[in-house]
Every structure is written in C-alpha cells, then in structure tokens.
Structure 1
Amino acid sequence: MSSRARVIVMNSALGPLDYRVPHGMAVEPGSIVVAPLGPRQLLGVVWEEDRLKSEHVGDNRLRNLLGVADVPPIPAPLRRLVEWTADYYLSPLAAVLRMTMPSSSALEGQKLVVEYRATGAVPPRMTPQREQALERIGDRQGLVRELATIAGVSDAVIRGLVKTGAIEGVEVDLDSPFPEPDPDHAPPELSTDQAYAAGILQGAVAAGAFEPFLLDGVTGSGKTEVYLEGVAEAIRRGEQSLILLPEIALTEPFLKRFTARFGVEPVAWHSGLRQSQRRRAWRQIASGQAKVTVGARSALFLPYKKLGMIVVDEAHETSFKQEDGVHYHARDVAVMRGRFEGCPVVLASATPAIETRAQVEAGRYRELKLPGRYGPAQMPAIEAIDLLAEPPERGRWIAPKLVTAIDATLARGEQVLLFLNRRGYAPLTLCRTCGHRFQCPNCTAWMVEHRLINRLSCHHCGHAIPTPRLCPECKEEESLVACGPGVERIADEVAALWPEAKTAIVTSDTIWSPAKAAEFVARMEAGAIDIVVGTQLVTKGYHFPNLTLVGVIDADLGLEGGDLRAAERTFQQIMQVAGRAGRGTKPGHVLIQTHAPGARVMEALVSGDAEAFYAAETESRRDADAPPFGRFAAIIVSSEDKGEADTAARMIARAVPEVEGMAVFGPAPAPLAMLRGRHRFRLLVHAARSLDVQDVIRDWLGGLEWSAKVRVAVDVDPYNFL
C-alpha cells in the first residue's frame, strides 16, 4: 500500500494534489477522501498516479489525508468516463467529477430520521383543515414539511394532529434497500417486430459487451416495451440498468409503466428529489442494490457498481445537452459510458438526430426498426392549413378549419391538443402610444407577459415584475398591448370559443414536478380535460387513447433564428406532437397551421416521407461540412463590463493559430448579447472532422491571459447558438 496518494479535490481551479496516507488508513484509486487545503477541508477522489501529471513534491512536504468515506470507491469505468468527458468538453476534471457526488450527506454513515403517518384515530376537535389533511395524506408517510405540502396545509396543522395522536412518528432508516423489480412480473404481449428487436437487445445484454443500438420506431410503436425486455434480462443477471429521460415531467408517467411491468417502481433520479432521497438513491446505486435507475441526464454520472444496459429515451431531444457548467451531451456521453462499462447502449427515438443516423450509416450503431404502431392503432392523418389562404379571424390565432375540426372532435367526446412552443400569454408587450417595449434589464430579451400570475418575466434569467398598469415611458394608462400569442392567449381563445370545454395549460410553469405531471395524466385519463394547450412538454412520452386531434398553432416558429438544426428540430417536434393523436383504437388527425406549406419540412410532415427529408437535410449538412461531417466549437466570452469582454474576445481572435482544416469566425456580439447581466461575445470554430480541435483550442487559449472579470467558456458541439 502506497504511503502517498494523488487526489482530485473538488476545486476546479486546482489540478491534482499529492497527499500522505496516514498509517492505518487504506485508500485505493476511486476512494473518496477528505483532504486539507490551507485551513479548509475538501472532498476529493484518489486517482491513479500514472494517469495524471503533478509537480513532484517530496514526502516530507506532504500533508496527511484527514479521512476516507465509508462508501465504495468511484469505479474505474466511471473514472475513465470522467477523464474522457473533461478532455472532450474542455472542462476541469474536478467539475466533471463533482457530478458523480451530488450530495455530501451520501458519504455519511447510517442515518435514522423520524417520519410521520396517519394512525386512523380521529382527533377530538376536527377542523376543516385537519379533515383535509387526513383525507389527502391517506396512507402516505413523510416529514412534517412533506405531509403539509401534500395536504395543502401549514406545518402547524400537521404538528397539531401529531399532538392529538391522529398522526404518529416512526423511525426510518434512510438507507433501507429499494424493493427489487421482478423481470417476470407481467411480461407484455409483443408484436413480431417488437419481439425480434427485444430478442436482439436481450442477447446483447447476455453477451455483456459494448454495442450501441438505434431503436427507431414510429410514435406509438412500443419502443418502451422493447427496451424494457433488455432491462429485464439485465435484472435476471443481477446487473443494473440506467434509463435516461429528457424531462423531469416524463418521469411520473414512465414510473407507472415500469411498475405495471416489474411490480415495483425503479429508482428515480432528478432535481425534484429531497436530500434524503438523493442520499438513499446514491448509496444504493453505489452498492449495486438499486437495479434500475430512471432519471435526467445527471443520472449518467452516478457510480453504478455493474451496469448491464443504458437506454437514452427520446434520444433526439436537445434537452440532453447541458448548457451550463460542463457542456456535455448526455446522448454521446451515454455511448461512451457504455463503451467503458462494456454494456449495450440503446438510443430510442421516433425521430433520430442526423448525427445518430450518420453513425448507423457508418456501421458504428446497429439499427432496430419498428415501422408500425402497436396493435390496432394507426398513424394519424396529417394536413397543413395555409395561413395565407385560410387565415384566422382578426384578433384570433386558431384558423377556421381547425375550429371546425375541434367542434367535431368535442362533439364525439374526444380530446384535443393544441401545440404552441411559447410559454406565457404574449412574447412582447408594448405601449401603443409611445412604442415603449418591455425588455429585461439583465438580458437582450423581451419580457414575456404571464397573465395567470400577473407578471412580466424574462425566460432567460428569471427576472420578473408585476404587470404595470401604465407605460413607464409616457405614463399613459390602458395603453399597453400584448403582441403575438403564447399558450395562455390560446387558452383564452379556447375559453371564448368553447366555454363548456374543460381546458388545461401544460408548460414548465404548470408542470414543474413529477407529482404535477401525475395529476395531469390522471385528469386526462379520467376525461376531466377536453382541450390541452401546451408547449413541447406535451410532445413526447404521453399516451392518451382518447386524444384524437392535434392542432399546431404556429408550425413556423421553430424555423426562425438561423440555427443549422432549425428544420430538423421543427420536423422532430411536430412529428412528436402529432404522435400524441390516435394512439388508441380511434383514428387521429393532425392539422398544422403554417405560412409556408411548400417548405421542405412542411411537405415532409404532410407526406410522412421522413426519409426524403432526412436525406436532403443530411446532404445540405455535408455540403456545408456541418455536423456530423464537420465540427463546431463555440468560445463564449462574457463579463459584466462590456469593454473588458470585447477586449478579451479580440485578443483571443488575434491569437487564432493557423491550422489546416480550421476556420474561426468572430468575435461578434452573441445573439443574446447580454445574459444575466453579463455582456457576451462569441467566436465560432469550424473544423474538419479529422482535426483534434480540442487540443488546438487547449493550446490556443492556454497561452493567453485575460482580466479576472472575464469568463471564457468553450462549448464543444454546440446546440444553442444564442
């Protein structure tokens, strides 16, 4: 056992540091330790010395490690993934490593807490609030604060019920094992295509080797049932599985499907978990006891003991790309984790990204296709409404043809989904007297009106103000006018046209947790909602057999902005939302409102000819040497001082190295020239696929110095060009 250890401490500004291992302390690569740094104590992870360079320090100058956590070491495959991610995305090793340890409480020993549950006793004095609390709590158990939230009452009401004996405290071990899923609990009846694909995945799990798959199936084809059979095989072999979902709101519907298949819920991992839940999940995953984890992209960096399968559901989703901190793409990192772990990786999608399709064509990924919907369900009929020829009535946003279709659908007792990917009531508010426009003081963005909460909000930094009564510029009353529609405005129009219909608005403002998503699903399944007005949050994952009509209010919205993926994203988004229609025995119908029905993407949507659309998009990318045939990297320079940011950006541009196969554009003010109070300039690196652009950028920026007020971030393979 070595008497010294090389440690990555949780400080991104520092490289690896050497420490002395005190007598009697046992550490190994991956051990989580407490290390002194000046007067502070930092968490760190012991690393292999031959993989990290460090300035040699004599043994007599080393400080002692202070402790080692009583948890399994970070496994070698995860350490290799951390190294790869840091290298590929040009991020500090510590910043990536921090994602593997999201909670310091997970490193502490056994913990007992007191949770509370109803006893069935009736309190001597029953108030309306107490009655509501006991009714809503039912057989649930939790902390006082959690029960109060469930019941919609104050903490004091719950504590009062404890005093009366109607609620009692019970001691709970925070690290109690999760119930194990049963792979043979309720196996589904699979179609021929599903059974074939499931058999391939089960064989890949049994082989225990890295193999990436694209599970390409139309919406409603039963992709989930197929990859869950691969998960079942991993459970039988005592291995763990990871299923990544793009949205926290999708977690709850998925948990229901999983429970129906395996008899118990999987382990959930997302930002909505309490600290105690995160601790329990992390420890059970690290020990190997948690067999299936379902979570957001951050679940990718958890320390699984033995992964047998990784699934990335809705793998085309851009929300898998992290925009802050480490700019990684979970789809691509998932494939690399599968490579380091030696297990199959499944990318499931009805509308795969061009990058994924290119990997299939190159023979690197194996494609499994599900060309038809499961059972009697058929793909919906899709039709475009030319807004130039058939415009909505003045002051309205729903075209007459769509109004007629909604009338007929509601008359049949069926449900309608209206899609507009714009939150709030209106994207812009201005004064009709002086022309004043409400702009965020921290960002180059308009304030969005949210009438439901009577606020103007910035969707980039969160700045919000009460909706003013008069113009701040000319002081004129009743002069403010909302420009353009958001989902709230469409919901107002729906209420005016169909006052008897029960309407729900579904956005990240209204569905912010798995519990809220579960409530929405329950209302839809119970027929308590007739018309849903929603954003991209409703485009994927939901299965409502009575939803037969989808109306896309503004199909051209996603084509604005000059993004190289604009047409592809629009196609994916509308195909996904169209896929919500006709998923049961009743036929579905989709009406797309557009000003450009002749555009290639609109013609492809109506004809259903996805292959022709993708072929044309792929060819245009090839001609431009755009991804996946070339490479992009964005360098974003920002500062609260505009002059400092401009100076640093120009200095970086002057130092551009001459490298064959690489061009650098800029600097130029970013489209969002100010974000969260920081002025932003961008340089865009365009490189040949064969060029190791990370090494070039590392050497280029590594030789420069800029003001401490300036931040320079590098986004390799950017998805957001704002």
Structure 2
Amino acid sequence: MFIVQCWIEHPVRRLDQTFTYLSDIQIETGCRITVDFAGRSVTAFTESCRYTDQSAEELEKKSGMKLKKITSIVDSESLITDELHELALWMRDQTLSTAISCFQAMLPAKVKPASGRKNIVKERWVRLSSKEASLTPKQLEAFQYVRERGEVRYSELRKLFPSQAKALIDKGMLEEYEAERRNLLTDTEGSETKRTLTPAQQKAMDEIVQSSDDVFLLRGVTGSGKTEIYLQLAEDALRKGKQVLILVPEISLTPQMISRVSKRFGASLAVYHSGLNDQEKYEQYRLVKTGEASIVVGTRSAVFMPFQNLGLIVMDEEHDSSYKQDSQPAYHCRDIAIWRGRHHSCKVILGSATPALESYARGLKNVYHLVEINERVNGTLPEVTIVSMRENMRKGGSFILSEELKEKIRNRLENHEQCILLLNRRGYSSQLRCRSCQSVIMCPHCDLAMSWHRDIRRLKCHTCGTEMPVPRICPVCGSAEGFTSMGFGTQRLEEEVRQAFGNDVRILRMDADTTGRKNSHASILASFGRHEADILLGTQMIAKGLDYP
C-alpha cells in the first residue's frame, strides 16, 4: 500500500494543501492522477508517494478519517524535473500563490494538471519485427530503409513506398505502433560565421567570461552589438555540452533571434511562445526534457522549460513589462531566470539599452555585475530631431505627419531605402466623441475609451477585447447628431502615408490586428527584410530588437 500526497487542481487558497489518498502502486512525484474529491472526479498533481506496510483500515484508524483510493494514474512518468518541483514551491512562497497554480504555469496546456485536458496527438510508426518472408526488390528497398533508421513514421514510409509499406506490414516484416507526435529536429549547417568583436564588445565579453559572478547586467546602447556577445557566450556554453536559454519579451522578436541562432550554430533549436498551438508547445517541451534541443529561444513562459544541463541564460530587453505576469502566480521572469541560473551554476545575462530602474540600481550597488558598452558598432549615434506638431499645424500642415518627416521619408524613397514608422496606438481613431454632449464612448467592462477600427467598422476595447458597432444615438444624452473621431492609430497613419506618397509606395503594417494569424510576425518581418516594402509602420512590437541593415 502506498500513501499519496497530492495537490487538487483548483487554484484557490483554502485548498492550497496536500490531500491524502491511497494507491496500490507507486506513483512518481509530478504525475497527474484523478481522484474523487468531495464527490467529484478531479485532476490532482502528485507531491509524494511513500510505501507503508499498514493496511487501509489501520491507516484510517490512525488518521481518524476515511481514506479514498485514487481513481486512475494519467502519466507514466513525471512531467517536471526535481528542479522545477523545487522552483514551484519557492514561487508559492515568494508570490503568495497556490502551489497548483505554479505547477500549471510551468506546464504546456496539453499536460496541465486540470480537468478538461486535451488529448496528445499520436501518430503511426513502424519498426522491424522478428518474422521473415520473401520480398520483391522494391519491398526489400523499403525494408532496408526502415532497418537503417530503426523506426520510421508510417506516413513517411507510405510517401516513399506507397504500395510496399502496407505489403511489409501484411507480411509481418514490419510492426505498427502508436507514439506521441514529436518534432524531429535535424541539425543544419550554420551559414553565419563568428563576427569579430569591437574593442568595446571584447572588453565586455572578457569581463563576463573572467568574472566568477553569476548575474550580469549588460547595459549597451542601441546598436552596440549585445546580440553578438550573447551568441559568442552561447557558443562557449554549447562547446561544453551545455544547454542555452535565450529569452525575448515580444513574439515579434522571436523570428529574428531564431534566424541569428540557427544561422550561427545550425544546432537543434526549440522555440516556445504564445504563437504555437497546444500540441506544438508540448512537442517543444518534450524536446527540451529529453535533451534533444540544445538551444531554446522563447518568450516569458520559456523560462520554465525542463532543462537538464543549463549553461547560460540570456534575458534580452530585460526592462520590458512583458516579462511580468499579472495573474496568479504573479511572477517576474527575471527572478525565475536568476533562481534557475543559481541552481545550474550558470551565468545569467540581463541585457538592455535602458535597464529597469531596479536592475540598474542593483548593478550600481554590485548586487548584479554591471557591464556597460557606451558606443555603437558603427561608431556613430543617430541624430534625433524633435518636431513641434503644434507649430506644424499652425503652418497649415498635417497633425499626423510633419513636413520635415515627409521630406525625410521622400529622400529615403528616392534613394530606394526603407523607413520604419512607430506609433504606439492601433486602430483608426483612439476614441469617438458625441457631437452634442462631447461624451466619449467607453468600454462597458473597463471604463476606458474604445477605439474605432475603420476596416471592420466597429469599436474595440484594447484592454479586454470587447467589440461593438457604433451606436446610432449617444448612450449618454440620446442625441442622434453622430460622433467625431479623436486621435489616430496605425490604420489612420497608413492612410495618411498613402495620401502623402501615393499608392505606389509599398507599406507593411504590423500591429495586433495584422498579426493575429500564425507565423504572421515572421512573415511580415521577412518580407520587409527582403525589401518587398518601402515602409514598415506599427506599434511597440517594431520598436525594439529589430536588425535591418
């Protein structure tokens, strides 16, 4: 008989304790089980399982309560490592969260300890059997193909040998079995060579490598070559047989970082961000857990990947608010990265041109090792011009594009160069105001102004996502005089640019409205990189980390 301590799936404070059940077989810590809890079948997460030679009656008499047996075991092996188990309990204390919410934050949706879980996609595979039979030359070729590889996806074998695959199975030469679908990564040959560091980069690199400190704040001005330092530190870690984690704040930055990493190393690479579906996230999680992936590039949630031999953690743009999670467990990715770095005895690099105030203060007080690069790789800083739009409007100009900006853009277009226009507001107009009472249409849930999206002719709340048509009458005063638009967003900016430079100018817009589809971030950035557009305009997702010569 085994005594099982487990966490119940509901992340509420009054249930934040382990509950005791009995099992006839041993269960690993970190496995999901189903149990009867208050008359309902719920999913639980195993905390511990210990053997006892006492009977169920003796245990019930000793504890003074009736003990139930578990209903079923969901997983055959632990979903998390011992390190992640320890980390979850640390997060519970540090963030005042429930333990089960910490475990749920770590795991991909396919294997979260929660009811209503989705099935993991499985696929058919074939392998050699012990039987013998006479084969045709073509069947022998298919048989040799499987023997050389040990196991092959049935779909792959059918594609190469359409009729022979089924014939080999019918003859018993191959046996079928089902296995979880997995992402098979293949090493590709890197095409980018290591770049020579500038004296300032080399000084920063040497300071990091030669120091025995574990947390470094790399403050380098924009264009100082921080990414190259990350890649060379990653190369050192990979050479030692270690794994590397590179964190970026925005999903829009992931494609460029992936491109740099794969071109440099050609190594097995796992990618983890919100743009992947549940199955893809699970496959990437398994690649890291089994040690097949040597480098991981991802956003905030990638900090929980089940590394076995971590050698370097890089947190790019460490000041970004995207690294904070507001819901339970309310953690900061920086704190998790530093905890994991100390557990694995590896260096943690926090990189930024504008560090968070608390990070910079820790750097100045030697809590973090502060490393600074104050010059660009090309040696020149950009010239910044502040234009008064009020003055521009007094001269009869637009309230969106100043005459000086139009002239600069026109010069770039004439030279067949590209431009990036940043506006931290999407939609067409930032608010609609009643012509009669001047009241602004507010979101019924957030009490914030709703933005007008002209392409779909609807109002949207950019906080909670609520949508509604424009009301026929003012909800405040009942007037039917209509509404005036105030402010402008990326849709209006795109329209203004086309009016100023003609329809021949090629424009790409990148905001939450144009990047809703899968891989749309990478597609837009790749298109701009191939010079298929003259102007890229968008919100904050184009404001940081992009590298275009």
What TM-score, normalized by structure 1, do the two folds share? 0.61
> Whole-Å Cα distance in 2 between the matches of residues 481 and 444 of structure 1?
19
Aligned CA distance change for structure 1 residues 480 and 312 (closer, same or farther; 3 Å): same
Matched, 1:94 2:100: yes
Matched, 1:46 2:47: yes
> Whole-Å Cα distance in 2 between the matches of residues 36 and 241 of structure 1?
41
Equivalent residue for 1:175, pick from 175, 182, 203: 182
The SS at the match of 1:414 is coil
The SS at the match of 2:312 is strand
Aligned CA distance change for structure 1 residues 288 and 70 (closer, same or farther; 3 Å): farther
Matched, 1:3 2:2: yes
The SS at the match of 1:493 is helix
Aligned AA for 2:10?
Answer: N
- Residue 235 of structure 1: CA displacement? 2.1
Aligned CA distance change for structure 1 residues 362 and 5 (closer, same or farther; 3 Å): farther
Per mean C-alpha deviation after superposition, the further-off stretch among 417-426 and 97-106 is 97-106
> Whole-Å Cα distance in 2 between the matches of residues 183 and 340 of structure 1?
31
Aligned AA for 2:507?
Answer: T
- Residue 458 of structure 1: CA displacement? 0.8
Aligned CA distance change for structure 1 residues 521 and 43 (closer, same or farther; 3 Å): same
1:257 counterpart residue number: 260
Matched, 1:487 2:493: no
- Residue 59 of structure 1: CA displacement? 8.7
Deviations 1:250-270 (A, max 9, x none): 111211111111114621111
2:63 counterpart residue number: 58
> Whole-Å Cα distance in 1 between the matches of residues 193 and 413 of structure 2?
35
What pairs with 1:535-614 in structure 2 (closer than 5 Å)?
Answer: 535-545=539-549
- Residue 229 of structure 1: CA displacement? 2.0
Q: Highest Rg: 1 or 2?
A: 2
What pairs with 1:464-543 in structure 2 (closer than 5 Å)?
Answer: 464-467=467-470, 474=478, 476=480, 479-499=482-502, 500-512=504-516, 515-543=519-547
The SS at the match of 1:256 is helix
> Whole-Å Cα distance in 1 between the matches of residues 249 and 300 of structure 2?
7
What pairs with 1:276-425 in structure 2 (closer than 5 Å)?
Answer: 276-374=279-377, 376=378, 378-391=380-393, 393=396, 396-425=399-428
- Residue 542 of structure 1: CA displacement? 1.0
Kept after mapping to 2: 8 A contact 1:82/1:93: yes
1:701 counterpart residue number: none
Kept after mapping to 2: 8 A contact 1:106/1:279: no
Q: What is the aligned-residue identity percentage?
A: 30
1:192 counterpart residue number: 199
The SS at the match of 2:297 is strand
Equivalent residue for 1:112, pick from 87, 102, 122: 122
Aligned CA distance change for structure 1 residues 47 and 220 (closer, same or farther; 3 Å): farther
Aligned CA distance change for structure 1 residues 258 and 102 (closer, same or farther; 3 Å): same
The SS at the match of 2:519 is helix
Aligned CA distance change for structure 1 residues 496 and 41 (closer, same or farther; 3 Å): same
Matched, 1:78 2:84: yes
- Residue 60 of structure 1: CA displacement? 7.2
Aligned CA distance change for structure 1 residues 176 and 389 (closer, same or farther; 3 Å): closer
The SS at the match of 2:363 is helix
1:699 counterpart residue number: none
Kept after mapping to 2: 8 A contact 1:34/1:68: yes
- Residue 313 of structure 1: CA displacement? 0.9
Aligned AA for 1:76?
Answer: D
Aligned AA for 1:213?
Answer: F
> Whole-Å Cα distance in 2 between the matches of residues 184 and 493 of structure 1?
41
> Whole-Å Cα distance in 2 between the matches of residues 410 and 242 of structure 1?
39
Aligned CA distance change for structure 1 residues 33 and 370 (closer, same or farther; 3 Å): farther
Aligned AA for 1:190?
Answer: L
> Whole-Å Cα distance in 1 between the matches of residues 124 and 469 of structure 2?
41
Aligned AA for 2:458?
Answer: R
Kept after mapping to 2: 8 A contact 1:18/1:62: no
> Whole-Å Cα distance in 1 between the matches of residues 196 and 516 of structure 2?
34
- Residue 448 of structure 1: CA displacement? 0.3
- Residue 428 of structure 1: CA displacement? 0.9
Aligned CA distance change for structure 1 residues 232 and 495 (closer, same or farther; 3 Å): same
Deviations 1:607-649 (A, max 9, x none): xxxxxxxxxxxxxxxxxxxxxxxxxxxxxxxxxxxxxxxxxxx
> Whole-Å Cα distance in 1 between the matches of residues 518 and 547 of structure 2?
16
The SS at the match of 1:214 is strand
> Whole-Å Cα distance in 1 between the matches of residues 120 and 523 of structure 2?
34
> Whole-Å Cα distance in 1 between the matches of residues 34 and 200 of structure 2?
53
The SS at the match of 1:61 is coil
Deviations 1:225-280 (A, max 9, x none): 21122222222233222211111121112111111111146211112212221221
Per mean C-alpha deviation after superposition, the further-off stretch among 398-407 and 86-95 is 398-407
1:659 counterpart residue number: none
Aligned CA distance change for structure 1 residues 238 and 487 (closer, same or farther; 3 Å): same
Aligned CA distance change for structure 1 residues 257 and 433 (closer, same or farther; 3 Å): same
Matched, 1:220 2:223: yes
> Whole-Å Cα distance in 2 between the matches of residues 176 and 414 of structure 1?
39
Per mean C-alpha deviation after superposition, the further-off stretch among 509-518 and 250-259 is 509-518
Kept after mapping to 2: 8 A contact 1:268/1:294: yes
> Whole-Å Cα distance in 1 between the matches of residues 6 and 180 of structure 2?
32
What pairs with 1:640-679 in structure 2 (closer than 5 Å)?
Answer: none
> Whole-Å Cα distance in 1 between the matches of residues 430 and 466 of structure 2?
15
> Whole-Å Cα distance in 2 between the matches of residues 104 and 501 of structure 1?
45
Aligned CA distance change for structure 1 residues 24 and 447 (closer, same or farther; 3 Å): closer
Aligned AA for 2:389?
Answer: L
2:58 counterpart residue number: none
Kept after mapping to 1: 8 A contact 2:4/2:46: no
1:15 counterpart residue number: 16
> Whole-Å Cα distance in 1 between the matches of residues 268 and 495 of structure 2?
38
Aligned CA distance change for structure 1 residues 366 and 382 (closer, same or farther; 3 Å): same
Tell me how large the CA RMSD over aligned residues is.
3.5
- Residue 297 of structure 1: CA displacement? 0.8
> Whole-Å Cα distance in 1 between the matches of residues 86 and 495 of structure 2?
53
Deviations 1:262-321 (A, max 9, x none): 114621111221222122112222223222111111112232222222111110111111
> Whole-Å Cα distance in 2 between the matches of residues 415 and 331 of structure 1?
35
Aligned CA distance change for structure 1 residues 6 and 203 (closer, same or farther; 3 Å): farther
- Residue 456 of structure 1: CA displacement? 0.8
Aligned AA for 1:368?
Answer: V
Aligned CA distance change for structure 1 residues 175 and 70 (closer, same or farther; 3 Å): farther
The SS at the match of 2:371 is strand
> Whole-Å Cα distance in 2 between the matches of residues 464 and 271 of structure 1?
23
The SS at the match of 2:241 is coil
Deviations 1:197-245 (A, max 9, x none): 34455567xx7xx701112111122211211222222222332222111
What pairs with 1:120-199 in structure 2 (closer than 5 Å)?
Answer: 174-179=181-186, 186-199=193-206
Kept after mapping to 2: 8 A contact 1:250/1:514: no
Kept after mapping to 1: 8 A contact 2:252/2:542: no
Per mean C-alpha deviation after superposition, the further-off stretch among 529-538 and 40-49 is 40-49
Deviations 1:404-442 (A, max 9, x none): 222222222222222221111111112324434322122
1:600 counterpart residue number: none
